[in-house]
Structure 1
Amino acid sequence: MSFFKKNLLFCIVVFLCVAAMCAGLFLAFSASGKVKEAKNSLNSAELQLTALLGSDPAPSVDNLQAAKQNLSELQQSLSQIRKELQKGASLSTSEDGVSVMAGIQQYISKFQKATDEHVDETGEPAEIVTPQDFAFGFEQYIDEASMLEDPEKVSLLDKQRQVLSYLLTQLIASDPESIDKVRREVLEEPAGEGAKTFRVDPAVSARVPGAIDTMGFSLTFSGYTDSLRELLNRLSRFDLPIVVRSIEVDRPSGSETVVAPTNRGGADNIFDLFGGGETAGTEEESSEGPKPVIEENISQFTVILELIEVVLPETQTQEDSDTV
């Protein structure tokens, strides 16, 4: 007892150290217990995950509803894609030979009048030149319309008339100088018959038997590059599934030259911008009027096109609709 009295401070320090050691041991023991518990929970979760991955759990009601809604949306998207791909098939055609031949005669008269009475953007008359007795792809029927007996061929002929009517409407709206030739695949005759038979080269055609049906057309016209650009822009609207297969350009002799408008306040001659020297006859030449500085030549363009109709299986689509 006297020892504690003599060494009171030392004893207090020793007591505090012992107490701290006991507290540390207790905390370490508690922490180790929690670590073991966490490890056990982790092992249990891993076992459950392994069991779930190896099993085939039944979907919940919410998952079933979400799956049905997703399937319905996909089916609607498929139907929309189908409609876009089958725009050509949606054309209403007739199998009546008399009415189809009458429609072709009206078609020829309509576009003969449209080219003769064409006006440009300013409303000024701008006749589009065409060859004499031009039938816009139906030269076989301009004089006498021989009736076809096969209803399927009659229907194809009517569809070609409608497609060509669309193409010529877009071409005339593009303001060409002339329409020189219009050709179509003569499907009502066997391939190879007649000199005027036109076929798209199989190497570039999109036709796939049983999957994709096509109809080939060719438009040959003369004009400026703006006319070709305008025609391609109009066709790119995809009102009908028509794709451009090739474009041929031919610049005939005797092309026109366009005089660029005078730039007021600028150089009178484009070469003045580069500091070119003047000759003795400059004043005399300039007094005669502006010189042509931009040559915009009329070219002849031949555009090969195909109407594409995708043949999709009806049975598969019906089965998908039933599952919804």
Structure 2
Amino acid sequence: MGLVITGGVVLVLAVVLGVMLFRFQSSYQQVRTDLKSTVARLDALYGRDPYPSEENVELVQSNLFVLSNYHQELVSVLKLGQVDPASMEPADFPQLLDRTIRRLYDRAREQGVKFPARFAFGFERYALGALPNHEDVSRLVMQVRTIEKLCEVLFKSKVSEMENVQRTVFERGVIEQGGTRDARRRMQEAAEGTPEPVSEEWIDPSGQFARESYTLTFRAMDGAVWAVLNELAKMGLFTVVARVELSNNTPLPKPSQAPRAVFESSAAGATPPLPAAANMMDMFSAAPQAAPVEAAKTGPKPHEERVVAGREMVRAIVEVHVYRFLQREGEGNQP
């Protein structure tokens, strides 16, 4: 009897064990099949050629050549008329500045443009005899020639008076030359009135272009101010008007008197009481008749008297950004 029970238990355990082995075998086969599929996929990825075909390489190279040529042509067009820094000895810069100032004074005299006394277009210290440092000359030459072009725009637009020209002051020292005590004193006063030097020329982070700022202060009629803005847009330099301020010191016209009533009552004081009336028609018929005011018969003022603004001299401050396009290293060598 004991052997039968033992055999039965062993048989049950054998059946359970067989079922478990069958299930584990099925899971193992599934995992092995997935592993083989993943390994095959990985081998296929490793075995692929990741590089583009020769046809695609030729197409991309041709597109690069076309875009490079287009970029070079665009920069060439944008650079037309721009003023680049020019090398010059420090001793030759005052002569260049003197010739430029004389030309501007002659042009201003022809156009009837007024200047302040001893006006040097933002180069007062050099007009009084100072020499620039050697490393500052090239940029100073560029500023002188740029200001000359900007002043030509003002002269062409027929402004009435130039008050000031401000440039980007970047130099930190000058070489003083011999001269009279009065000249040295005026040079020191001009240097004291000059703004503090700023950092180097602003250059776009991509290295495509640089920018200089100039501020022109002048007096002109409204039409001349609009002409200046139009000429700045048409000139050879690539300019952007960053700020325009207009002020008018002409006193405002006196306000006209308060308009009187079109009709005046027959009585000097309050409106007299209406007489009693039997109905509304009698009330209106009994109302006092109003007399028209003589001022109403004069009519509107003529056009010249009605214009109160737009024909006065205004003071204009125009800030201009002048862009200079650069030639980066390696450009022009594309295949």
Q: What TM-score range do you get, normalising by the shorter chain?
A: 0.5 to 0.7
Residues 227, 278 of structure 1: CA spacing in aligned structure 2 closer, same or farther, 3 A cutoff?
farther
* Alpha-carbon distance, 1:109 to partner: 1.1
Spell out, residue by residue over 1:10-61, the C-alpha distance to the aligned partner (whole angstroms, 9 max, x if none).
xxxxxxxxxxxxxxxxxxxxxxxxxxxxxxxxxxxxxxxxxxxx86686466
Residues 302, 65 of structure 1: CA spacing in aligned structure 2 closer, same or farther, 3 A cutoff?
same
Residues 242, 255 of structure 1: CA spacing in aligned structure 2 closer, same or farther, 3 A cutoff?
farther
RMSD: 3.9
Give the 3-state SS of the residue equivalent to 1:314 in structure 2: coil
Which structure 1 residue ranges, 5 or more long, are not aligned? 1-53, 119-126, 257-276
Pairing 1:308–2:323 present: yes
* Alpha-carbon distance, 1:244 to partner: 1.9
* Contact 1:95–1:152 (8 Å) recurs in 2: no
For 2:91, the equivalent position in structure 1 comes to 98
Residues 113, 313 of structure 1: CA spacing in aligned structure 2 closer, same or farther, 3 A cutoff?
closer
For 1:83, the equivalent position in structure 2 comes to 76
Residue 187 (structure 1) aligned to one of 170, 174, 194: 170
Give the 3-state SS of the residue equivalent to 1:117 in structure 2: helix
* Contact 2:83–2:145 (8 Å) recurs in 1: no
Partners of 2:167 and 2:142 in 1: CA distance = 11
Instruction: Specify the code of the residue in structure 1 equivalent to 2:143.
Output: Q
TM-score (norm 1): 0.58
Instruction: Specify the code of the residue in structure 2 equivalent to 1:302.
Output: I
Instruction: Specify the code of the residue in structure 2 equivalent to 1:301.
Output: A
* Alpha-carbon distance, 1:250 to partner: 1.4
Partners of 1:64 and 1:73 in 2: CA distance = 14
Aligned length: 232
Instruction: Specify the code of the residue in structure 2 equivalent to 1:299.
Output: V
Partners of 1:200 and 1:302 in 2: CA distance = 21
* Contact 2:215–2:320 (8 Å) recurs in 1: yes
Residue 145 (structure 1) aligned to one of 129, 145, 152: 129
* Alpha-carbon distance, 1:168 to partner: 0.5
Partners of 1:65 and 1:209 in 2: CA distance = 31
* Contact 1:88–1:308 (8 Å) recurs in 2: no
Give the 3-state SS of the residue equivalent to 2:192 in structure 1: coil
Partners of 1:141 and 1:182 in 2: CA distance = 15
Matches within 5 A, 1:165-176: 165-176=148-159
Give % identity: 21
For 1:236, the equivalent position in structure 2 comes to 233
Instruction: Specify the code of the residue in structure 2 equivalent to 1:228.
Output: V
* Contact 1:153–1:188 (8 Å) recurs in 2: yes
For 1:131, the equivalent position in structure 2 comes to 116
Which structure 2 residue ranges, 5 or more long, are not aligned? 1-47, 174-190, 254-292
TM-score (norm 2): 0.57
Residues 168, 290 of structure 1: CA spacing in aligned structure 2 closer, same or farther, 3 A cutoff?
closer
Residue 223 (structure 1) aligned to one of 202, 220, 224: 220
* Alpha-carbon distance, 1:207 to partner: 5.2
Partners of 1:198 and 1:247 in 2: CA distance = 23
Pairing 1:293–2:277 present: no
